[in-house]
Chain A
Amino acid sequence: MAATGRWNTLQINRVQRLERVAQVLGTDLQGKILPQTRIGDLLHAALEVGDRVCIEGNNQKQADFLAKAMTQLDPQRINQLHMLQSVLALPEHLDVFENGIASKLDFSFSGPQAGRLAKLVSAGKLNIGAIHTYLELYARYFVDLTPRVALVAAQAADRQGNLYTGPNTEDTPPIVEATAFKSGIVIVQVNEIVDVLPRVDIPADWVDYVVKAPTPHYIEPLFTRDPALISEIQILMAMMAIKGIYAQYEVKRLNHGIGFDTAAIELLLPTYAASLGLKGKIASHWALNPHPALIPAIEAGFVSSVHSFGSELGMEDYIRARSDVFFVGPDGSMRSNRAMSQAAGHYACDMFIGSTLQIDLQGNSSTATLGRIAGFGGAPNMGADARGRRHASPAWLKAGREARDGKYAMPRGQKLVVQMVETFREHMQPAFVEKLDAWQLAQQANMELPPVMIYGEDVSHILTEEGIANLLLCRTDEEREQAIRGVAGYTAVGLGRDQRMVENLRDRGIIKRPEDLGIDKRDATRDLLAAKNMKDLVRASEGLYQPPKRFRNW
């Protein structure tokens, strides 16, 4: 009895929405395809007051045309929307709050909009449900934050509404799945409508409406780092990482954070790591975006496999030509998937290594700064011990042994979570602090907890230009604090060290200086980089990598 409406209210409501749209659009709706001029009419007919609406805002690919259309809605008709977004990247993502169309937000990361978001919160224009990590937010799409309407972006659709998402699949699969299978409405913007798709990433019967956007969706080249900007200090730290951690633990499966510190490691694999005889022994399997800086290591045969969260502009042809390494469809182009890669990074990688802005005396690490609500993104899923993991590997077992040796504890493994920072960032901002800014931000923005990116209990190593602190081996809170102070350089935290205790930690191998690792600082020169600039990367790729214009500096 479909009409009774006791157990199928969502389906009935869905049918009502579809009927409203059919009436409003009339013959402008051809199957599932509508002209871009009618987007406002579609949204007014398909949306209802108070809806949970997910706009696909990824790290890279943006449903920018639909996001802009949302800002043009009449707040008299559509308001009180509850927005769900993994990334708030565009000004339009916040304009809907300023315009009185939306009132509540659940999200993961807001990098470029962090300052404005904080202002809107303090002006009472926006209510934050919670700030999530990526996997956590996708998980809630299937539990208590299922979208009523999803606005997503794809590269192309065919006339039936099948979608090809292209290399930047990113968040599309979980958003569409959660919405389509809970009687919601899925609206897609595409760059082109074609007769035959290269491959089908999302089947047509999960899709309700397709609109061709006036311009191709925006993609941000987020993971490109110009090797010309890598410093000698970063090279020194990369040498310490390779010799002091990768080699020690035989780390084969890993994820790298974004930044010059990890780009330096990638560029030292075919040179420094190879000279240590580590080819085939470390860094072979990755959960990683297609970093251009990884090209020389791939070409040198270091890398067996890379699964990606998203893609990277300019890497398309290179990926296509290296299908043994990357995940590509039968059509030859890559398929990324942020949710799958996050799961891979959490459960199947032995190590996460990345940068941060602040580390406190317990090793808690945060990128929160005053006046900005930036959120988390994916680092906490990578940078956390996977308590649900059961399969063993040498790296995981060794880390687990070090953390439990001498304790009365069930033997188990542990993930390596490495925070790699220079003791001072630019403008002499110390990376080590007594108290994280996150505490004050929590108070300012009325958060229940300080926004900590990686909890100290999950951090296994802190690596600075002064040395490596192995926190797994620390047995007391005091040892842990002194191990952190012992690599904190000339920051106030570092200068406040107990010199004798730090020397004792060094004797026990808990702190290792470059010289303890047999690294001569004088060897840390740019000559070690497998590519010294963008042109070298292009050359290493045999001309297949095509950097975006702003990186073409030759």
Chain B
Amino acid sequence: METLVFRFENGTRQLPRNPQLVGVVSSGNLEVLVNHADLQSACEIEINTAAIGFATIWEAVMKDFNARWQLANVRIAINDMGATPAVVSLRLDQAIEASLEATT
């Protein structure tokens, strides 16, 4: 197991306060948990991954995720079982979209 933490400051998009969970912890997949947290407009992502040695790729995937959504006061927890970057991005986007849809 490896734990990685990324923090992106100065987000602009707020999410509703109810937590959101998408995905499953199974081989090649991952679980994404989205929570509200008072982080001075930052977005913090903690990743627990079964695959070791892919920090650079995670960083690139998270930077692009942040560029897409610019989240503020959001804490995201990821439990990864060797998902590919494509699946990671898909699940993250699904989680945020589900969260936003819950407001309307």
Which residues of A pack against B, CB within 8 Å? Answer: 231-233, 236, 422-424, 426-428, 465-466, 489-490, 495, 521-522
Contacts of B87 in A (CB 8 A): 231-233
Question: What are 22 residue pairs bridging A and B, where the CB atoms are less than 8 Å apart in the complex?
Answer: A231-B87, A232-B87, A233-B84, A233-B90, A236-B90, A422-B84, A424-B84, A424-B85, A426-B28, A426-B82, A427-B82, A428-B51, A428-B54, A428-B57, A428-B84, A465-B86, A489-B85, A489-B86, A490-B85, A495-B56, A495-B57, A521-B90
Chain B residue at minimum C-beta to C-beta distance from A466: B86
Task: Give Cα distance in the complex from A32 to B57, angstroms.
Answer: 66
Chain A residue at minimum C-beta to C-beta distance from B88: A490
Interface centre among A231, A423, A490 (most CB of B within 10 A): A490
Which residues of B pack against A, CB within 8 Å? Answer: 28, 51, 54, 56-57, 60-61, 82, 84-87, 90, 93-94, 97
Shortest A388–chain B CB gap in Å is: 39
Task: Give Cα distance in the complex from A526 to B58, angstroms.
Answer: 26
Shortest B98–chain A CB gap in Å is: 10
Chain B residue at minimum C-beta to C-beta distance from A490: B85
Contacts of B97 in A (CB 8 A): 522
Contact of B60 among A231, A495, A521, A522 (CB under 8 A): A495
Task: Give Cα distance in the complex from A522 to B91, angstroms.
Answer: 10
Task: Give Cα distance in the complex from A489 to B82, angstroms.
Answer: 16
Task: Give Cα distance in the complex from A432 to B51, angstroms.
Answer: 19
Shortest B96–chain A CB gap in Å is: 11
Q: A428-B51, A490-B57, A495-B60 are in contact. Are A423 and B86 (CB under 8 A)?
A: yes
Contacts of A426 in B (CB 8 A): 28, 82
Task: Give Cα distance in the complex from A495 to B58, angstroms.
Answer: 12
Chain B residue at minimum C-beta to C-beta distance from A427: B82
Docked-complex contact A232 and B90, CB < 8 angstroms: yes
Chain A residue at minimum C-beta to C-beta distance from B84: A424
Contact of A522 among B28, B82, B84, B94 (CB under 8 A): B94
Shortest B61–chain A CB gap in Å is: 6
Q: A426-B28, A428-B54, A490-B57 are in contact. Are A233 and B86 (CB under 8 A)?
A: yes
By secondary structure, the B interface counts as helix
Task: Give Cα distance in the complex from A422 to B88, angstroms.
Answer: 13
Contacts of B51 in A (CB 8 A): 428
Shortest B83–chain A CB gap in Å is: 9
Task: Give Cα distance in the complex from A428 to B2, angstroms.
Answer: 15
Shortest B68–chain A CB gap in Å is: 11
Shortest A503–chain B CB gap in Å is: 14
Contacts of B54 in A (CB 8 A): 428
Known: A233-B84, A422-B84, A490-B57. 11 other contacts (CB 8 A): A231-B87, A232-B87, A233-B86, A423-B84, A423-B85, A424-B86, A428-B57, A428-B82, A489-B85, A489-B86, A495-B57
Task: Give Cα distance in the complex from A232 to B86, angstroms.
Answer: 10
Chain A residue at minimum C-beta to C-beta distance from B87: A233
Shortest B38–chain A CB gap in Å is: 30
Contacts of B84 in A (CB 8 A): 233, 422-424, 428
Shortest A523–chain B CB gap in Å is: 12
Shortest B56–chain A CB gap in Å is: 8
Shortest A474–chain B CB gap in Å is: 24
Chain B residue at minimum C-beta to C-beta distance from A237: B86
Task: Give Cα distance in the complex from A233 to B94, angstroms.
Answer: 13
Shortest A338–chain B CB gap in Å is: 34
Task: Give Cα distance in the complex from A424 to B84, angstroms.
Answer: 6
Interface centre among B61, B84, B87, B97 (most CB of A within 10 A): B84
The 7 closest A-B pairs by CB, nearest first: A424-B84, A465-B86, A490-B85, A490-B57, A233-B86, A490-B60, A490-B61
Task: Give Cα distance in the complex from A423 to B61, angstroms.
Answer: 13
Task: Give Cα distance in the complex from A352 to B84, angstroms.
Answer: 26
Contacts of A465 in B (CB 8 A): 86
Contacts of A495 in B (CB 8 A): 56-57, 60
Chain A residue at minimum C-beta to C-beta distance from B93: A521
Shortest B66–chain A CB gap in Å is: 15
Contacts of B61 in A (CB 8 A): 490
Shortest B102–chain A CB gap in Å is: 15
Task: Give Cα distance in the complex from A428 to B56, angstroms.
Answer: 13
Shortest B60–chain A CB gap in Å is: 5
Contacts of A231 in B (CB 8 A): 87
Contacts of A466 in B (CB 8 A): 86
Chain A residue at minimum C-beta to C-beta distance from B29: A231
Chain B residue at minimum C-beta to C-beta distance from A429: B84
Shortest A524–chain B CB gap in Å is: 8
Task: Give Cα distance in the complex from A215 to B12, angstroms.
Answer: 71
Shortest B85–chain A CB gap in Å is: 4
Docked-complex contact A422 and B86, CB < 8 angstroms: yes
Shortest B92–chain A CB gap in Å is: 12
Task: Give Cα distance in the complex from A383 to B82, angstroms.
Answer: 32
Task: Give Cα distance in the complex from A231 to B23, angstroms.
Answer: 13
Chain A residue at minimum C-beta to C-beta distance from B53: A428
Task: Give Cα distance in the complex from A482 to B31, angstroms.
Answer: 33
Contacts of B93 in A (CB 8 A): 521-522
Contacts of B57 in A (CB 8 A): 428, 490, 495
Contacts of B94 in A (CB 8 A): 522
Contacts of B86 in A (CB 8 A): 233, 422-424, 465-466, 489
Task: Give Cα distance in the complex from A374 to B6, angstroms.
Answer: 42
Shortest B81–chain A CB gap in Å is: 12
Shortest B22–chain A CB gap in Å is: 12
Task: Give Cα distance in the complex from A483 to B92, angstroms.
Answer: 26
